[in-house]
Homo-oligomer: A and B are copies of this chain.
Amino acid sequence: MLKTQEYLSAHGIRPSAQRIAIMNYLLTHKTHPTVDEIYTALHPELPTLSKTTLYNTLKLFYDKNVTLMLTLDERQTRFDGNVEPHAHFQCNVCGKVFDIMMEELPELKNVCKHKIGELTISTIELNYRGECASCRGEKN
């Protein structure tokens, strides 16, 4: 818990109880949760937490670069506390999202620059979709 607090401070985020709990949840759950999932999970611990606070906090985390916002589904935004360069794979069947570590991701910036030039790239998002191992296995 102390670690999370320092992590927030180091990124210029005042570590309130709510913020620590939310950040901690994101750091310990690599499931790319939606706002609703986070809200439900934190409810026992923080019964007074409001959705507005959750939205505000996640926006703050995003602005301070400690959280990614993923627009994998068209309806709900998902959040990711892992800000290392990596791609995502979402299964069409079960909907689960998997991390794919990919050191070569930053190199893709050059491919884009080479094609267009003149522009400044701040982020890259690489999303795969298909059928995951366990859903594929359930076919037989």
Contact = CB atoms under 8 A, between A and B. Distances in A.
Which of A74, A98, A119, A121 gathers most chain B CB within 10 Å? Answer: A119
A130 interface: yes
A72 B136 CA distance: 28
Contacts of A50: none
Given A71-B74, A74-B69, A77-B74, A124 B115 contact: no
Contacts of A111: 102, 104
Interface string A113-140: 0011111111111111111110010000
Contacts of A77: 74
Given A71-B71, A111-B104, A118 B89 contact: no
Given A74-B77, A77-B74, A129 B136 contact: no
A101 interface: yes
Contacts of A117: 133
A129 B109 CA distance: 10
B130 A122 contact: yes
Interface string A100-111: 111010001101
Contacts of A132: 118-119
Interface in A58-77: 69, 71-74, 77
